[in-house]
Amino acid sequence: MPAEKATAIVLRTVEFSETSLVVVLFTREFGKVRGLAKGARRLKGPFESALDLLAQCRIVFLRKSSEALDLLTEAKLLRRFRPAGRDLASLYAGYYVAELLGELTDDYDPHPELFDLADQTLVALSAGEPVANRVLRFELGALRLLGHLPSLDACAECGASVPLAGRVAFGASDGGVLCAACRPGKQEVVSVTAGSLRAMAQLADLESPAWRRLGIDHRSRGELRGVLNHYLCNLLGHKPRMHEYL
Ligand SMILES: [Zn+2]
């Protein structure tokens, strides 16, 4: 059984015994990994309290066959997640990043760019950057990288270009905007302003820093949250636990 090395973000820890933890990690190299960390609840040992929620660490683990949990043998802390002033909004946003990484990805399905986006998001939240836009950027960037980005300017049903003016129909279960011909009879349709759709496209554009200059007022932010909450609930088949804290 070869030992693997990876850089990981701690998504979840569950007490397994008096001294051990089961840990869910999102690694840059292998995607999501679940492992047993024997002795991790002792202060001294091969884990040195590195397995803190949202901490980034360098891990060594033994990959087990199919059903069994991997065995974590070492974790070295690279950085803890400690928002400045223990700001609750930043902390909850961090928990939400962990929840989405856990829910949207599969075990052993690596997405290094998503790892980097999560890493940048956690660093920005720790540094006290405005939370709401950072969360939107992470959600839309993650959806793009995982191939789940809703269609924002072409009808999700027929592919026709949808003019971005006034209010536009958005079908959460259809995968994006709908043209006037496809709209009738559809379920789960909300109406979104063209401005919010343009903002979503900028937030999802990972090549461009233009989203940083977006002035999103209170009302638009409420609308964006509403649309994304609805879309993500549909995609995941349930409401993310952290939605009520955003
Ligand atoms: Zn259509």
> What's the pLDDT at 65?
78
pLDDT band, very low/low/confident/very high, at 193 (cuts 50, 70, 90)? very high
Q: What is the 161 CA–ligand 1 centroid distance (Å)?
A: 8
Using CA atoms, how far residue 178 sits from 140, 182, 192, 235, in Å, is 19, 6, 11, 17
pLDDT, mean of residues 94-105: 97
- pLDDT for 92 beyond 90: yes
Where residue 149 falls among pLDDT bands split at 50, 70, 90?
Answer: very high
Strands 31-37 and 3-15, sheet pairing: unpaired
Centroid of ligand 1 to alpha carbon of 43 (angstroms): 59
Expressed in angstroms and rounded, the spacing between residue 160 Cα and the centre of ligand 1 is 6
| 3-class secondary structure per residue, the chain | CCEEEEEEEEEEEEECCCCCEEEEEEECCCEEEEEEECCCCCCCCCCCCCCCCCCEEEEEEECCCCCCCEEEEEEEEEECCCCHHHCHHHHHHHHHHHHHHHHHCCECCCCHHHHHHHHHHHHHHHCCCCHHHHHHHHHHHHHHHCCCCCECCECCCCCCECCCCCEEEEECCCCEEECCCCCCCCCCEEEEEHHHHHHHHHHHCCCCHHHHHCCCCHHHHHHHHHHHHHHHHHHHCCCCHHHHHC
Rounded to the nearest angstrom, the distance between the alpha carbon of 58 and the centre of ligand 1 is 48
The set of residues, in sequence order, having a beta carbon less than 8 Å from that of 169 and lying 6+ positions away, is: 177, 178, 180, 183, 186, 189, 190, 191, 192
Ligand 1 geometric centre to CA of 206 (Å) = 27
Rounded distance from Cα 205 to ligand 1 centre (Å): 24
pTM: 0.95
Find the 70 Cα to ligand 1 centroid distance in Å. Answer: 47
Q: Which band of pLDDT confidence, cut at 50, 70 and 90, is reported for residue 85? A: confident
Average pLDDT over residues 144-162: 97
Ligand 1 centroid to residue 54 C-alpha, Å: 42
Task: Give me the pLDDT at residue 45, please.
Answer: 79
Mean pLDDT of 71-89: 93
